[in-house]
Amino acid sequence: MSNEATLERQATAAPVAPAIELKGISKSFGPVQANKDISIRVMPGTIHGIIGENGAGKSTLMSILYGFYKADKGEIWINGTKTEIPDSQAAIAAGIGMVFQHFKLVENFTVLENIILGAEDGRLLKPSLAKARRSLIELAEDYGLNVEPDALVQDIGVGMQQRVEILKALYRQADILILDEPTGVLTPAEADQLFRILGRLRSEGKTIILITHKLREIMEITDTVSVMRRGEMTATVKTSETSPPELAELMVGRKVLLRVDKKPATPGDVVLDIKGLKVVDDKGVERLRGIDLQVRAGEIVGIAGVAGNGQSELLEVLGGYADGIGTVTLNGKPLDLTGRHSDGKSRRNRGIAHVPEDRQREGLIMDYQAWENTAFGYHHDPHYRAGILMNNAAIREDTAEKMERFDVRPPNPKLAAKNFSGGNQQKIVLAREIERNPDLLLIGQPTRGVDIGAIEFIHQQIVALRDQGKAILLVSVELEEILALSDRIAVMFDGKIMGERLPDKTDEKELGLLMAGITDTDTPHSVEEIEENLAHTHGDPHKEI
Amino acid sequence: MDVMPKWAEVVLVPLISLLLAAVISALVILAIGEDPVAAVKLMITGALGSTYGWGYTLYYATNFIFTGLAVAIAFHARLFNIGGEGQAMLGGLGVAIACLFIPWPHWSLALIGAAVMAGLLGAAWAAVPAWLQAKRGSHIVITTIMFNFIAAALLNYVLVNLLRPKGQMDPATARFPEATNLPTLHDILAPFGIAFSKAAPANVSFVVAIAACFVLWLLIWRTRLGYEIRAYGHSESAAKYAGISPVKITMITMIISGALAGMMAINNVMGEAERLVLNSTEGAGFIGIAVALMGRSHPVGVFLAAILFGFLYQGGAELALWTSIPRELIIVIQALVILFTGALDNMVRMPLEKIFLAVRRARAPKPERKPVESAE
């Protein structure tokens, strides 16, 4: 790998050692080679992006750097000295801090208690807390990381929780910060604020590694970027000298279409009509607080929103596996929202197909073979039956055809679902649901954990189904996806729909405000206001991502 | 593409586990100053060396097939039915009622009637914990264990106060009428000119047990119900998504499980004792757990494991009879087999997987393309 040239500028301008240098790191899990001979140099005071599809090995690499895994081969050099990192304690001692995608905070502790957790000085808490409070104030001032030291973590918003994670690392004197998919749970405005903080940290001399799969973030904030594909580092380039299409190509290994090609919609009759839909969960919390929504034939309605604001519950009620209160009609006839006829089987009989948000937990039985999964939910179909037995041969045949049409690789009906890649798993679910020719398709996070190449295909299939005059309700936390696919966008916040917009008459900024529950989108709003709003939702932001 | 080929998974792993158990058992026997080789010889001749030995081995195996299948079907729905013992006791009660109070004209009708009654009572005994689990979330492991004790107490009461003939000191029912006595393997095989021990208790229930294996295989892998049961066992959230009712599956699976455990009584109560005595099950309900574990919840595996445990039981009895190896040590040996085949499964599996992996790597220098998902 010759990334020397691209880093020449830094190397010549400042004869300092790289903050991090990985040399020939390899790691395999059983038969899977997660990292193959990876070398990387990150200069101090820069933001280095690592981009790659799910499963490309980004997280494994960072876990090695943070001491969670031990590399099979290779060396780690920190600030010019070779360093062994057998565990996370050693990583912290070497000045590395990590902000995980799923925050590691104790919900019923205060911000301050969380920050000193694991770094208490003596047997008594009080002196440590006092010391932490002093340095917290300093850190907050230095880097613009404002938090409320005495608030309970469960009461603060996701944005602030993330800042607590960053402060935790800084409190432990981290000079190198690793952030794993930090914007997954943030609204666009919060993400912007995070990037401002990262910029500030960089100017104070901190080194930052940003792991993401979003090209936009790489372009916005990083100085250099490394692309990973299938466990290998395919390129390291200067951000200013690359472009999103080039990075996408490096990630996938071929040219990809980043835009969805689609004709304007020609909506027909109302297929799905939701009026005053409410959902109350086991704990008595209202997760849906009166939803009104229509989806017409031949249109894609996209639901935007930060994860955990009721989108999952909406899909669950419509899919028949959560109880709801209110009126929902399909083609003019009411749907049962509770009781015997409110289950997945009845919904399928009514012509509702459902690609669930979490294909591994819901959409597929991971230990079932592809053909068994193709019958999943439709196993009562007469075509799949032979007397009291299942007609396995017919199902296998059908599966082989579907795999062919949806380009599932490898096209082997007898392979267990867990052995397919994320994109191919999703294609199996999509093939099953779309080929049923449903009146209404519910589709949640259609491309989560799916490689860019497959995203293109999946988007085309969704649009093709729309063009056949079907109604599609799309839920996604990826705003870009919502904007690209939807013919109409409804924004959900705290179990309510904050408003509907047309994709060509809105932008990420306006949607971002709606996602934070702010409806007067014309006046300017501060990030604090947005956070304040988000902190009071009942949503559980960690549930989905 | 699993790490190991299927044959290694189903044959090699249990075989190695068994070998390890045998080695440690041999060491234990050595430690108390007996000869392990002689002990093994004695066990084999005692359990398999004569039709008498086989008769006992198969008799025990029949019990274990029923209870093993009962645990196995529940495992497929990820339910742990530890209540096989209690369900089999209730099955015994069902057999006793069917045999004592209905004048059967022929053993075959009596067998059907007794099997139905045994199944019904066993199923009913499993249905209560199942309902508590499905509707109330009471953990089925706890409730089925507790139901074993309730069953024992109930049987005690029924035998002492209700079914015991007047004047009899023994808490047991009267002998069943002759028309309900089941043909032994001796009776069945005689017309074919095969001489089989007259004294051995193996009887026609063994054939019923084999049939049960086949029916259960069909149910689990060929019917929609089996498909739903397995789906529910793999992932409850996915089952809900597909419109499979967790309540329905829990109830049906446990009812089938309880019925199978209950049907064991046609072997031990109807076929062997020909009356219902206290503690007729002799722990077969618990052995069923080991049998299901070792048999990987597959009916064929359960059948083979049941034969093995039948051998251990009969061979162990012979050992206790002819050597100075104490009875308790024989239980230790049986426990070692359970420990190695059931609980310590991964101890053998993991190194074996590594070996297979290394072999495959060595053969194919470039690893095939695989999703790297699991690494993230």
Which residues in A lie closer than 8 A to residue B374 (C-beta atoms)? 29-30, 32
Chain B residues touching residue A32 (CB < 8 angstroms): 370-372, 374-375
Please count the other Cβ atoms lying within 10 Å of the Cβ belonging to residue A204: 12
Q: Inform me whether the pLDDT recorded for A489 exceeds 50.
A: yes
Instruction: Tell whether the model's pLDDT for residue A408 goes beyond 80.
Output: yes
| B237 vs A contacts (CB less than 8 Å) | 358, 361-362
- Three-state helix/strand/coil letters over A259-323: CCCCCCCCCCCEEEEEEEEEEECCCCCEEEEEEEEEEECCCEEEEECCCCCCHHHHHHHHHCCCC
Residue of A nearest to B237 (CA): A362
Distance from the Cα of B163 to chain A's closest Cα (Å) equals 41
**pLDDT (tens digit per residue) in A131-153:** 889 988 888 888 888 888 899 99
Helix, strand, or coil (residue A503): helix
Least confident of A53-62, A63-72, A96-105, B295-304: A53-62
List helix spans (H) across A46-157.
Answer: 58-65, 88-93, 111-116, 125-143
Query: Given pLDDT bands bounded at 50, 70 and 90, which one contains residue B63?
Result: very high
Using CA atoms, how far apart are residues B349 and B16, in angstroms rounded to an integer? 9
- B243:A375 CB<8 A: no
A57 and B231 within 8 Å at the Cβ level: the answer is: no
Section A112-138 average pLDDT: 86
Contacts of A59 in chain B (CB under 8 A): 375-376
Partner residue facing B374 (CB), from A32, A319, A380: A32
Which pLDDT value is given to residue A518? Answer: 85
CA distance B1 to chain A (A): 7
- CA nearest neighbour of A235 among A248, A220, A222: A248
Nearest to A361 among B238, B357, B361 (CB): B238
Min distance A59 CA to chain B CA atoms (Å)? 5
Max mean pLDDT range (A67-76, A171-180, A187-196, B212-221): B212-221
Note whether A415 contacts B376, CB cutoff 8 Å: no
pLDDT in tens, B328-356: 887 888 888 888 877 777 788 888 888 88
Does residue A82 sit in helix, strand or coil?
strand
Q: How far is A469 from chain B (nearest CA, A)?
A: 25
Q: Within chain B, how many helices (H) and strands (E) appear?
A: 17, 0
Chain A, chain B: beta-carbon pairs less than 8 Å apart? 121
Say which residue the tokens 């990876």 belong to.
A38
Complex confidence, ipTM: 0.84
Contacts of B234 in chain A (CB under 8 A): 365-368
> What would the two tokens of residue B95 be?
């057999």
Minimal-distance CA residue of chain B relative to A59: B376
Give residues 214 to 233 of B whose Cβ lies within 8 Å of A: 218, 222-224, 227-228, 230-231
Sign (positive/negative) of CA torsion A300, A306, A309, A310?
positive
φ, ψ for residue A501, nearest 5 deg = -135, 155
The predicted pLDDT at position A420 comes to 87
What is the distance between the alpha carbons of residues A342 and A321, in angstroms, rounded to a whole number?
7
Pairwise CA distance, residues A341 & A306, whole Å: 31
Kindly report which listed range (A7-16, A83-92, B176-185, B324-333) carries the lowest average pLDDT score. A7-16
Going by C-alpha positions, the residue among A257, A186, A51, A196 that lies closest to residue A479 is A186
**A361 contacts B237? CB cut-off 8 A:** yes
Which of A25, A26, A32, A72 to probe the B interface (max B CBs under 10 A)?
Answer: A32
> Which residue from B235, B241, B370 is facing A32, i.e. has the nearest CB?
B370
Contact B238 A362 (CB under 8 A): yes
Q: Does the pLDDT value for residue A461 go beyond 80?
A: yes
Chain A residues close to B2, C-beta within 8 Å: 416
Option in A231, A364, A449 nearest B238 (CB): A364
Average pLDDT over residues A379-401: 93
CA B86-B87-B89 angle, 5° bins? 65
Identify the three-state secondary structure at position A28.
strand
Q: Which residue from A34, A377, A385 is facing B372, i.e. has the nearest CB?
A: A34
Q: Which of A62, A344, A73 is nearest to A208 (CA)?
A: A62
The share of chain B scoring above pLDDT 90, in percent, equals 71
Which residue of chain B comes nearest to A385, CA vs CA? Answer: B224
Residue B45 clears pLDDT 60, i.e. is over it: yes
Residue type, A89: Q
Q: Does residue A284 carry a pLDDT above 70?
A: yes
User: How far is B241 from chain A, CA to nearest CA, in Å?
Assistant: 6
Lowest-confidence range among A369-373, B11-15, B139-143?
B11-15
The nearest alpha carbon in chain B to A354 belongs to B241
pLDDT value for A52: 84
Distance CA A511, CA A515 (A): 6
Across the interface, whether the CB atoms of A421 and B375 are under 8 A apart is answered: no
CA distance A251 to B137: 47
Residue A177 pairs in a beta bridge with A97, A208
Confidence band of A120 (pLDDT split at 50, 70, 90): confident
Question: Please, which residues 237-296 of chain B have a Cβ atom closer than 8 Å to chain A?
Answer: 237-238, 240-245
Predicted pLDDT at A483: 92
Does A216 have pLDDT greater than 60? yes
Largest CA distance in chain A: 78
Pairing of strands A352-355, A440-444: parallel
CB A359 within 8 A of CB B373: no
Higher pLDDT, B175 or B361: B175
Neighbouring residues of A523: CB distance < 8 A, sequence distance ≥ 6: none
What percent of chain A lies above the pLDDT cut of 70? 95
Domains with residue ranges and CATH for chain A:
1-95+175-182+209-251 (3.40.50.300), 257-351+438-545 (3.40.50.300), 363-437 (no CATH)
**Spatial contact of A356 and A363, defined as CB atoms under 8 Å apart:** yes
- Contact criterion met (CB < 8 Å) for B370 and A29: no
- Other CB atoms within a 10 A radius of the CB of residue A90 amount to 14
B220, B227, B230, B241, best to mutate vs chain A, most A CBs in 10 Å? B241
CB contact under 8 A, A54 and B245: no
**Contact: A377, B1; criterion CB under 8 Å:** no
Decide if B171 contacts B78 (C-beta within 8 A): no
B371, pLDDT greater than 50 = no
Q: Do A377 and B237 touch (CB under 8 A)?
A: no
- Going by C-alpha positions, the residue among A220, A259, A221, A218 that lies closest to residue A235 is A218
Rounded Cα gap, residues A125 and B67, in angstroms: 57
The answer to whether A128 touches A120, Cβ cutoff 8 Å, is: yes
Kindly indicate the confidence band of residue A375, based on its pLDDT and cuts at 50, 70 and 90: very high
Token pair belonging to B177: 């009428």
Taking all residues of chain B, what is their mean pLDDT, rounded to a whole number?
91
Determine the pLDDT at residue A15: 65
Torsion of CA B203, B206, B209, B215, to 10 degrees: -110
Half-sphere exposure of A245 toward its Cβ, with a 13 Å CA cutoff?
A: 5
At B255-264, the pLDDT tens digits run 999 999 999 9
Q: Write down the pLDDT at residue A528.
A: 73
Tokens of B264: 């064991």
Q: Are the Cβ atoms of B235 and A380 closer than 8 angstroms?
A: no
